[in-house]
Structure 1
Amino acid sequence: MAETQNKGASPASNELVSWLRMLALPLWIRAAISVLIVSVIASGLALLAHGIWAREAEQVSSAIALVTVSLPVLMIVIALVFGQNSDRKLKELTTQVLQHNIPDAVRANLSDAYGKVDIQTGVRGCGADYTLSLSMPGQELPFQQRFRVELNVRKANVCFWLANVALPARLDANSEAVAVFRHVILGALAEGYQLNDAPALSAGEPTSRGLLFFRSLDPEFLVRPDQRLYFVQDLSFCVRGFLDASLASTKQPQVRA
């Protein structure tokens, strides 16, 4: 019976903690909480000091109980309230993932096979455009692979632009036009991505089409380092898969710089 109650209480507790972590409290409320925290701790310590000075065992016992119970609870409140995930904080974390975490993970993944890889990153709002450039032997211009990532807190859109690939108006993993990328697409689908059945259109130059993937993210994705790390590392393998397949389709040698 106790085990059943604990199982029932755990989701409720997790939901409460998640709700508290998503609070964006005004400054005056945080100031009031700070005053309350200081008051409770000060009262407990004052009661303890007076009990020791007056040699009143019951008062000392009450003070110790108050401090013992209050401190863990107050530390949790501090962590939840002052580590809150306001809109500004979520935007900062989104920019961090797009500007730093994704390029770093891709570089780390590609370094063994390709050596130094130049990655140009352009972040705008919740989206970022990336251009990978590889210097190939015997080629005057570097080989480039472009992709785009959009993070909407609980959803991710990833688009891989395919130069010189004619994509049909409707496609899936079995479409002949993407046969060279089929193993990468199937891997992405296995990781929870879904492939949009219509190709994405690029407004940039040169105009091209791309494969658009999307997936839902954990509600606490941005505030959990383990979730962010898994996402960027998994994405780096997907980027490498498309790069390998693109090079193979153009018969470019994969040579470490």
Structure 2
Amino acid sequence: MMDSTASRQDLLTAASMRFQNLIQWSGAVLLCALPLGVTLAATGGEPAAVTQVDIAPCLAAAAGDDMDKAKSACADVIDNEKTAKGDLIKALVARGALYARHDQVDRAIADDSRALSLDPTLADVFNARGELWLKKGDKPKAVQDFGAALKLDPNHEKAKANHKAMARELERIGAQMAVAGKPSFNCARAARAVEKAICGNRELADLDREIYGSHLRVIREAQSPAEARKIQREQDDFIARRNSGFGRPGYDLKKAMQDRLQQINGVDGY
């Protein structure tokens, strides 16, 4: 009877120990599954602090045009891997605008380009980068960015004005390129040696065309028929001297043409 009672007691004790071990194991699993801050709190430790990247100093320095403060404050945001995407874009745009105001064009373009790689729907940034490309003299890239801004926002006033102005400028450049190296007369009909020389030299051909264009302008601006006739006689005299002087020792065709262009346009070039 005593042995039976002892056996039951041993079984109860073993079951109780297994139950306690199960409770401890379950508690350990639960702690592992909790976030770090909650785990520390549950074990009596201090909650883990969540790092917040403060963008305010960067935006304030950029808005205040404080380059020195903005460099460090914005770098703290931009170079921090924990910065939220939205804040990173704001910091890049703010610093890019600051660089642009201080004529640091390449740095401004770099910041705007990175911002656009993160969010290609920013019409204002496309327009701003287009204006920067224009400062660098890269007109095709400027037009491309202005066009991208208008595609995103057809009512973007600055982009519309910029795109329109650039389209006209490119049209003008295209027209100039179309006649580059071509004189004011038809080279297929050139008979004189001086005309053939002009047709065979791009610089002389451009000079001839400029002389002709400037001559027509001053004729149109003449205050009276008598003044217009006087201007035409001067041009006829120049052509006659050019034709007779070409090929003679000491005659410099290029200099003669440059002198005539300056005579028509005046010392100030107009």
TM-score range, shorter chain: under 0.3
* Higher RCO structure (Cα 8 Å, ≥6 apart): 1
Task: Output the TM-score relative to the length of structure 1.
Answer: 0.26
Greater percentage in strand: 1
